Structure 1
Amino acid sequence: MLSRRRLLRAIACWCIALSTLFFASPSFAIGGKLPSLDQPAPEFTLPTNTGDGEIALADLRGKWVILYFYPKDFTAGCTLEARRFQQDLPKYTAQNAQIIGVSADSVDSHAEFCDSEGLKFPLLADTTGKVSKAYGSWLGNLSVRHSFIIDPNGILRATFVKVNPAIHSTEVLSRLTELQATVF
């Protein structure tokens, strides 16, 4: 049986997902104004679950970045989404892409989540919501389920606001392949 805390997290996750499905638009989505495509992506530096300190977008130049925001560790939709990204990780790696997950959860929560789910990509702790806000992905005290593809030069190339966790990684991988064929 779900604990009260996990049940509340699951309800919050579903509410955000449903709101995003019904009210999202290309330039403004639940969570705020999205950054503009074909412009430099908002810079960030956040602590990571890996114990290696922090990760900055600037440190990832030369790689494609799949930056995905999600509401909470250990919730049904967020766990499914993370598992799908992990399942496809070798495909992303083969395409010179780094997956980065971001939520308001703590570094310790992220570390437990990665250990529990066998995740081999970093999760960043945006506990104040500053980065989530810069990406139009903040609602109250949670990150909203949005994803972004950033090219090796730090330019934002794709935005996903209507995210279905079960198929999202496949959608992102397909769009990444298209972008790599046309942008570079």
Structure 2
Amino acid sequence: MLIPLLLTGLLSGATPNVGDTAPDFTVKDTEGKVYILSEMVKQGPVIVAFFPKAFTSGCTKELKAYTARHSEIEKLQGRVLAFSTDDAETLARFKADLKAPFPFIPDPDGKVVESYDVKMPVATISKRYTFVVGEGRKVLKVDSGGDAVDPSSAITSCSQAKPASPFVAPAAAKETPPAPKAPAAEAKSKQ
């Protein structure tokens, strides 16, 4: 009786939920490019997609769907990072096979997988989870299992993320002051 309770406690816990702050990470993709989550979210939402194994049917279907809808994600200033515990060579072949336009991140030691608490109980393999992470690393959406195969809700969540603020030069802001609204309201109340 005690062992099932202990196992339940070990297996549950730290998976980020909507509204939580996503764990930060600094990772390299299959081409050696570095990605830092806390920097990426300053430009727009990031879809952190964990998948179990390259070249399997469910993972192929999921990543093909992200590939097919990638332009929609880009229009929303979103980016996709596809994580697996596969090695870099396997993921590079999988990415090339899919013609995926987004980075594949090898996590063979399961460090990021463990920080998101999406590791399968026995093996160092990721469960299928998708997190949409917005400004300040706030989790906007979480999908798991079969729900994570279809990117529709992740894309919808990207559209609800606060877009990156464009820089406005101080001089430009002074040149166009807002039009006063008070006189029009006063004129109406006097009538």
Whether TM exceeds 0.5 here: the answer is yes
Cα RMSD after superposing both structures: 2.3
Higher RCO (C-alpha under 8 Å, 6+ residues apart): 1
Gaps of 5+ in 1: 1-27
Find the residue that maps to 2:60 and give its secondary structure.
Answer: helix
Q: 1:162 to 1:175 in 2, by over 3 A?
A: farther
Structure 2 residues not aligned, in runs of 5+: 1-8, 166-191
Per-residue displacement from partner, 1:6-27 (whole Å, max 9, x unpaired)? Answer: xxxxxxxxxxxxxxxxxxxxxx
Report which of the two has the higher share of strand.
1
> In structure 1, which of residues 74, 83, 88 is the aligned counterpart of residue 64 of structure 2?
83
The Cα offsets for residues 80-125 of structure 1, whole Å up to 9 and x where unpaired, read as 1000001000000000000111010111111111111101100111
What aligned pairs does 1:27-176 form with structure 2 within 5 A after superposition? 33-52=14-33, 54-60=34-40, 61-139=42-120, 140-164=123-147, 168-176=150-158
How many positions carry a matched residue from both structures? Answer: 152
Give the Cα separation in 2 of the matches to 1:93 and 1:142. 29
1:31 Cα offset (Å):
7.4
Structure 1 residues 120 and 135: CA distance shift in structure 2, 3 A: same
DSSP-derived class of the 2:132 partner = strand
Quote the sequence identity (%): 22
What displacement does 1:69 show? 0.3
Q: Given residue 55 of structure 1, which amino acid in structure 2 is its aligned partner?
A: Y
- The one-letter amino acid of 2:36's match is A
| TM-score relative to the length of structure 1 | 0.74
Q: Where has structure 1 moved over 3 Å in runs of 4 or more? A: 30-33
Question: What is the alpha-carbon distance in structure 1 between the residues aligned to residue 97 and residue 12 of structure 2?
Answer: 28
- Which whole-Å deviations, capped at 9, do the CAs of 1:9-51 have from their partners, x for residues lacking one? xxxxxxxxxxxxxxxxxxx9x7763124323210112220123
